[in-house]
Structure 1
């Protein structure tokens, strides 16, 4: 299918004049019709409006969304005819549709205007009014800055390398934009799996288009950015809650070619005392790159390898691409052929293309039976060899063609006549499935891993569509060892989070090329504070383990990776919030400070949750950078000073990353360990969660979360929370700590430590529940430390410090 070259397309026609409106028998939808076209309207009870121009196959709603466990309840609607149109009301929303198709949506603190509906062949488009002060974020994995206005963006999953600031199509396709400014936020999701477009070059109008399929528009009426992400992940699925070990530090390269080399890397991490939870196996572990096989010379005993590493607290994650080698003696090819599993042309001939193993066929993941078959392959392989998790790569799908020297022969995603089958008599063109191919592979993989298991699976995916967060973490693909890519990783990952995908991160150090020691040091400092933290590098490049850059850089890496492990209770709290509400873990400054206009312009800093501000050093040779601190006072843990809002020059020598904790900040901390495996038994003994909570004086609140870190027992009520508040009152700092857990959970046994900063002089008094209490003032750290007795369920502990 030829992509659209112009928006609006040339030689297009407008939508037919709307002359009829009919409310459904259940009063949950309204159809608005012309002689040629139909719009349908649904309003959901969480300020979500869906308007759909019916056209072609609706793969998202028929196949994808039912897999995502959407949380949507439609409102009962009322329909009224007015002059030149119709008015639909439901819940808090009112929708006015004029005869030319213009749509006005209003709700308290929000509105949206859609119009200019048009068609050109199978393509459909619509325009949306943008306010001049409105900035546009999201759109998934895109290059460039944080605000996406001023460019046209295409959503088409593509294997691209290297990418530069002007690259458009990337590995992920997420047709969702978040519009925000001081005073409010709203969002739009185009639920269409074909190639789609967002033209933001006009100062007043966004043009949204699709090559084929329905123009299914979800309008999210906010009115806050948190509301928009809640609304979007109700439509596209809540993010997965990963196992705790997936939050640990991870090491990879293309490739650790032998099990001896894998052992050496693991041993060096342990010998040097650098925390590590995961080592990855790239494609060279396989026999001739055949999926679900081992090269017997390089990996003679993989089960023994994974057990040995597990005993050291290290999991193995192995790559699994979608291309299956054509080989009549290969069991997976035999099994797939017996299942008639392959994507094919309309005449039934399997689609073929070269990838790493040579000429391959590709599973048709649109079919549930093939997803189940694929999931069983993953499950049997993981269980047989003790594999910790799966890494899906090349799943755009990346294709080299039947003969890479002659691309005209075919073997590409754009070949005419490639079809998928959602039922024997219902062929669907590949260009309608291409964008969700990786998502459907992920669904099959994870469902297979979860079958008859109570253990949380881990899947990492390079490609995906809106909803990939329901099954997988995402990394940003094959970046380069450039300072520009270090800097670009910040807005790219923020925007993925603002698109509903919170578990994200880049290849630390860069995949292509070789980072200098300085670049690697700055990248590891930054990377450990991203939700997903993994070093990865290309074949033929120098070693990129932390010790490969000399002792000074190794010391920096060890220190900062250690910070990540101490922050695990905080990270677990943020991941649980993301799982429950869709809230991103890595956030733009305006997320917490929506009334601060300058916060919308900062794209080289980010918030880790609500409490920590991270300001990476992104320029070579820099030992100072200017940092913007929004709207409140901030504590600098390096200097132990309180800084006021605004711009500040901050000293940042090579071993120092500017980090700040907001006034009223509450940061739960755990023990320093070399692996999350050391924390595994703490749940059973009531010792899970933070050992220490660092509190910055001011006004704030946080509820810390913990569970066993491995199973789905939390869904059955096995979890603990610690609700903490801090409040200034005259000369006093008042802290309240409350333990919360269901009846079935064993009460905690540990004595929780509190560290309260800053105290440059000794407090005159401390009371705990009205009684005098002990505390230790540490002048060199300008803080007060005290220890609480074991918490009792729902019984607040009150501390007053004067």
Structure 2
């Protein structure tokens, strides 16, 4: 999508072959694209507004699902075997860090093609999981959802290759032999073959129902060679972008059969138009642990905004990336902290233990990293009512959680140029720090009045402001709209019910923070919650309508008043 001089428009190529777009990169006055196809179907759609285009795009290509609330919480990666992971999760609970899901990617099960055994994070080794069901049951009892690793790749040197190969379920060469990637020594399941999909569905049933996992990461899916032959008669060239769509849809359908209540999460790496209907969230893939480049920290926000405009609303950043770069230990620590700040203001907060052979940064490295993660986790956990309300809107409109500034400020020419800041829904403007050594951040504020979320200072928009940017876990520079209603969660330990009595589960109670207004700001505002509850600030009182279930609401008014009330009916006024 882009903005013409008079009105925005959408350009879509309706084929699955590989495409390359050049949007004024080679020549400032020219856009061009190439596609490995004999013909192309191009569809142009005009506004009238960018929001209208995003919604129209969702209507055409498919609306995203509404994931369960725990997807939008805090996730922690933990590897090293059953005993190690259980011990680490107990420590998280003892420290009262509000983590709702654990990603244990080294828990291998060949029958389900589950897990990644090659742990390459220095100081960690893949460990044994002697009783997978007891493992997931233990973590569920502590109030964690448990995620694992899934892939379309089948490694020739692993036991799970034999069965799909013997049934003819793998992608083939033109001569009928199994197509094996020469460098990686993997083959791929053929998702165009209905029998292969049935076999895959049984593997998912084992993973989610028998072993008790709650979903996981769907890695890879983008390597199909152009000269491959698929079961439906198409070539790899014709299915370049169709294969990851089939991969996502097959996984989603299989998980939905195993969990008809929708209580699962699938994180996609690859995907094409339409795949947003078969995923719980998208992540940045194998980013590199560096600041610059097309895969470093500075590439994250532009990628997120592009995903959001293209119909994928639940993007998140994997903290510090995956691939080791050449930074010093101190420089990498700074990068890790800045990446953590960004991730805490995305759809979900998730760390990872990537390919790092030296002395990598981790939550547990020292008191500084632990405290930063705890602070970031607490901030993100508090945002869940707001984030889940945005997700409910996304499932109906396609509007992303992380928004290009022009989505919310379409009449501001500067908003069309900003690529390193974003709106988190309509109420927040977030400006991550992406430069090494920075102690301040200069931020462009669109027209209106804005409140520094951390310090309370009110600024007039339409200008740049420079604010402190401390290197800790509190968050990046964040500004809220003056007068905005911000629904937050009170302190809790998990979004998942636990068997352990001392684990506090979020029950739906709210802390409603109303931001102050300056002399020209609006003193009235409204907000629609994920469950249909309508919040309205009149400038003096908070009106609550259509509240569907009992909950406690605490109002934090702009004048400093704090008023709390238990709601047992559909409406109330807090004054």
Q: Do both share a fold (TM > 0.5)?
A: yes
Q: Partner of 1:373: helix, strand, or coil?
A: helix
Alignment check: 8 A CA contact 2:113 2:160 kept: no
User: What is residue 426 of structure 2 aligned with on the other side?
Assistant: 610
Q: 1:626 to 1:343 in 2, by over 3 A?
A: same
In the alignment, the residues of structure 2 paired with residue 249 and residue 355 of structure 1 have an alpha-carbon distance, to the nearest angstrom, of 36
Q: Partner of 1:420: helix, strand, or coil?
A: coil
In the alignment, the residues of structure 2 paired with residue 581 and residue 620 of structure 1 have an alpha-carbon distance, to the nearest angstrom, of 37
User: What is residue 749 of structure 1 aligned with on the other side?
Assistant: 550
Aligned-pair CA distance for 1:610: 0.6
Q: 1:791 to 1:703 in 2, by over 3 A?
A: farther
User: What is residue 319 of structure 1 aligned with on the other side?
Assistant: 149
Please report the TM-score for the alignment, with normalisation by the length of structure 2: 0.86
Which one has a bigger Cα radius of gyration? 1
User: What is residue 653 of structure 1 aligned with on the other side?
Assistant: 470
Alignment check: 8 A CA contact 1:345 1:351 kept: yes
Aligned-pair CA distance for 1:585: 0.2
Aligned-pair CA distance for 1:318: 1.2
Alignment check: 8 A CA contact 1:195 1:431 kept: yes
Q: Partner of 1:194: helix, strand, or coil?
A: coil
Q: 1:419 to 1:266 in 2, by over 3 A?
A: same
User: What is residue 513 of structure 2 aligned with on the other side?
Assistant: 694
Alignment check: 8 A CA contact 2:535 2:542 kept: yes
Correspondence 1:583 to 2:395 = no
Q: Which string of whole-angstrom CA distances, capped at 9 and with x for unpartnered residues, describes residues 535-594 of structure 1?
A: 11324354543231x323322221121011111100100111111100010012221111
Greater strand fraction, Structure 1 or Structure 2: 1
Correspondence 1:351 to 2:161 = no
User: What is residue 299 of structure 2 aligned with on the other side?
Assistant: 488
- Structure scoring higher RCO (CA < 8 A, sep ≥ 6) equals 2
User: What is residue 503 of structure 2 aligned with on the other side?
Assistant: none
Aligned-pair CA distance for 1:371: 2.4
Which of 231, 236, 247 does residue 56 from structure 2 map onto? 231
Alignment check: 8 A CA contact 2:439 2:471 kept: yes
Which of 466, 479, 484 does residue 665 from structure 1 map onto? 484
Q: Partner of 1:522: helix, strand, or coil?
A: helix
Q: Partner of 2:364: helix, strand, or coil?
A: helix
Q: 1:269 to 1:293 in 2, by over 3 A?
A: closer
Alignment check: 8 A CA contact 1:722 1:739 kept: yes
Alignment check: 8 A CA contact 1:290 1:324 kept: no
Aligned-pair CA distance for 1:324: 2.4
Q: Partner of 2:529: helix, strand, or coil?
A: strand
> Paired residues, what number?
542
Which of 553, 561, 573 does residue 784 from structure 1 map onto? 561
User: What is residue 449 of structure 1 aligned with on the other side?
Assistant: 255
User: What is residue 413 of structure 1 aligned with on the other side?
Assistant: 225
Q: Partner of 1:676: helix, strand, or coil?
A: coil
Q: 1:322 to 1:608 in 2, by over 3 A?
A: same
Please report the TM-score for the alignment, with normalisation by the length of structure 1: 0.63
In the alignment, the residues of structure 1 paired with residue 455 and residue 436 of structure 2 have an alpha-carbon distance, to the nearest angstrom, of 23
Aligned-pair CA distance for 1:294: 9.8
Q: 1:560 to 1:538 in 2, by over 3 A?
A: closer
Alignment check: 8 A CA contact 2:332 2:361 kept: no
Q: Partner of 1:431: helix, strand, or coil?
A: coil
- After TM superposition, list the pairs within 5 Å mapping 1:136-535 onto structure 2: 178-180=1-3, 184-201=7-24, 202-212=27-37, 214-252=39-77, 256-282=79-105, 284-286=106-108, 291-292=113-114, 298-326=128-156, 330=159, 333-335=162-164, 337-338=166-167, 340-353=168-181, 359-397=185-223, 413-414=225-226, 416=227, 418-422=228-232, 427-451=233-257, 453-472=260-279, 473-484=281-292, 485-513=296-324, 516-535=332-351
Aligned-pair CA distance for 1:290: 8.4
User: What is residue 546 of structure 1 aligned with on the other side?
Assistant: 363
Q: Partner of 1:469: helix, strand, or coil?
A: helix
Q: Which string of whole-angstrom CA distances, capped at 9 and with x for unpartnered residues, describes residues 168-214 of structure 1?
A: xxxxxxxxxx1126863221111210011223234444233321154
Alignment check: 8 A CA contact 1:199 1:206 kept: yes
Alignment check: 8 A CA contact 2:171 2:188 kept: yes
Cα RMSD after superposing both structures: 2.9
Alignment check: 8 A CA contact 1:181 1:597 kept: no
User: What is residue 639 of structure 1 aligned with on the other side?
Assistant: 455
Q: 1:560 to 1:337 in 2, by over 3 A?
A: same
